[in-house]
Structure 1
């Protein structure tokens, strides 16, 4: 028995030491974690993504030389002009006038050796960052919708650019160093000598209109239309598509909701209308950020499903509009929707309205050459009409009127027509509008 106490002491000591060792091992243990890769949500692209210059493109260019205007609305010419702009080194950018008069605008456009490029919407300077190379790192938070290029000093390999904003009545100027001036003259200025002559339609106290003097041959197209399945938009616009409920309201209306946002389809107009009420905001977004956010939102899901172009901005409502174009001409319709609209909210999209169809393929056998009166003739008819006032018109444009020839078979017809634009609203010029004179309008 005399060994019992020493044994107890040894056992107790060993237990204490074991406890110390185990505690130390627990404190210093580092588990062998396996790296878990983050799985990104599957990217959904309806159509291929586009560059900003595909969406921001001029609709008309006029050239003043030797006291004559020539001009073009050719889609090919507009693409080539934008391509020539790429890489231009903008040496400076300075404000010149912030209270432009209409007469002053007319004067600088009609000065010799100048070309004017017309954009439908007011374009923020930052949107040209991928096209021009600005020396100034901080660009002014303002916009322009006409760009005038003065080539009178081309011998020194320098151009002068003027930027006019109709909304802000502002004028900016910059000087451009063009490394290959010969290319600019050969590919932009020389071809302009063969363009149609344009007539300046002067309107006392208002900016002039510029329209072709010659009759216009255009093509009437018939297209198959491809419907884009609403399920794609449901998966794109709702965070969790699995909880979205679909309700068929009527033969022409469907609704999708997850309790927070709502997507409505109008199968007659082929329009999709998405709203996320919680994002509604009265805070005004600057034009440059608004265009960037709107463009990226649509482009991330390949939402430019046809030739959609930026045409207007309502910065008070954070709204951006994109119009459908065909062969370089705007498409308007009362039968289906032909415009995309985004309204930006609190750090995300608040309202998104758009068509859910795209142009599939045209039917060659249905093509038809249509001859339309010249722009100058259209002006004469407007002046004789009691329904229109020339000074109220912002622009007279050649475009397409979309008709649903057979909606069940998704066959649509695009008819070339003249339109007037007033305060962002289009009106098709018909014999009824112009006082009963057909003159090739229909």
Structure 2
């Protein structure tokens, strides 16, 4: 019994030492890590992503000189204009409200002014990505025309008006330019040689500005590139693996029980709805346009030259239209617009084409001559069912048709007329069969 206590002490000492050794081992242990490859989820893109400025582009510019108006719809000129604006220092903003149609017409016909036309009412605050404003807070107003007065360019200063037809308002401002000589040489002097334009005055309405001479344009033929509906299924549905499909040509339906995507193979259109997101709360224009752009751009949805054309705050709707060579495209055979309706913090409704223009066929190009805008207006004046005062715009564009057997699209130059936000192709039938150069 006399050895029990010494044995206990020895055992206790050993246990303490073992505990210390294990603790030290744990503290100092460094495992032999093997490299674990990080597998990131792939971002699904149906097309290339765009810059916001690509969607906010003018389609026409009209210049007032002493001898009258000149104008152009050249895509390259519009790009040069936007390049010129980048970095402009805009200051001394003032709002003019309740402008009459006659006053807005007078603003444009004043000598030494150019007017740039946009396809839709643009939220003023989105210009902060293009211009440099001295004002920290920009008003939540919109505009669809930009009037630039160069009468005092020698002082390195321009006066600019951002005019809204729909609200009859104008944001007046000044711009300081570093190189006035370059502005005149690159922007104003070439405009003196552009084609002649004519102002079509209308009672109690803003004027139309159209080409006085016949116009040559190119007919294009493209191979079709169909975008896979499966790509959009993977983009739009949260869990694509549980999506059920029902293929009954020409309509294909996809659903996960919460949302539905419908594909019309005849019109090459795709329609997605998430009913639970429906909302009646209006969103301010700048945020609405930003949310719509980011939603589409995240999956590369601007698969061609789509331009922002309209904003409907009552439904939180944004529309984009297909353009080619800077001119709007219209069709009664195929869908040619994209639209989004924003809901409760997410997309509620998304409608779009699922085709893109793939390859231009050079051998199929053909020069077409169209009558002048003045001739078209003269014919409309003779009609009983269309009033010139009801026309929102009259412009050159393209009429899109498809040949399904050859899998090609044809884009025919034509005159397009916009009324109440809807485009119509100007055809011989519209004028009672008189061809007038329209084919």
- 2:391 counterpart (387, 390, 393): 393
Distance in 2, Cα, partners of 1:284 & 1:31? 58
- 1:422 counterpart (416, 419, 423): 419
Distance in 1, Cα, partners of 2:200 & 2:21? 95
The residue correspondences of 1:278-297 to structure 2 (distance < 5 A) are 278-297=276-295
Distance in 2, Cα, partners of 1:268 & 1:214? 38
Give 1:134 deviation, angstroms. Answer: 1.4
Q: How many residues align?
A: 438
Secondary structure of the structure 2 residue equivalent to 1:255: strand
Match of 1:313 in 2: 311
Question: CA 1:282–1:21 in structure 2 vs 1: closer, same or farther (change >3 Å)?
Answer: farther
Give 1:41 deviation, angstroms. Answer: 2.1
Match of 1:411 in 2: 408
The residue correspondences of 1:102-251 to structure 2 (distance < 5 A) are 102-248=101-247, 250-251=248-249
Secondary structure of the structure 2 residue equivalent to 1:224: strand
Question: CA 1:378–1:260 in structure 2 vs 1: closer, same or farther (change >3 Å)?
Answer: same
- 1:371 counterpart (361, 369, 375): 369
Secondary structure of the structure 2 residue equivalent to 1:282: coil
Q: Report Cα offsets for 1:148-199 as digits up to 9, x if no partner.
A: 0000010100000001111221111110011011111111100110011111
User: Does the 8 A contact of 1:69 with 1:197 survive in 2?
Assistant: yes
Match of 2:66 in 1: 66
- RMSD of aligned residue pairs (Cα, Å): 2.4
Does residue 45 in structure 1 map to residue 45 in structure 2?
yes
Q: Report Cα offsets for 1:87-129 as digits up to 9, x if no partner.
A: 111123221x221110110011111100000001111122222
Match of 2:265 in 1: 267
Question: TM-score, with normalisation over the residues of structure 2?
Answer: 0.93
Question: CA 1:288–1:32 in structure 2 vs 1: closer, same or farther (change >3 Å)?
Answer: farther
- Which runs of 5 or more structure 2 residues have no equivalent in the other structure? none
Secondary structure of the structure 1 residue equivalent to 2:193: coil
Give 1:29 deviation, angstroms. Answer: 11
Distance in 2, Cα, partners of 1:284 & 1:140? 17
Match of 1:354 in 2: 352
Question: CA 1:283–1:33 in structure 2 vs 1: closer, same or farther (change >3 Å)?
Answer: farther
Secondary structure of the structure 2 residue equivalent to 1:93: strand
Question: TM-score, with normalisation over the residues of structure 1?
Answer: 0.92
Secondary structure of the structure 1 residue equivalent to 2:415: strand
Distance in 1, Cα, partners of 2:148 & 2:48? 33
Secondary structure of the structure 2 residue equivalent to 1:376: helix
Distance in 2, Cα, partners of 1:283 & 1:245? 32
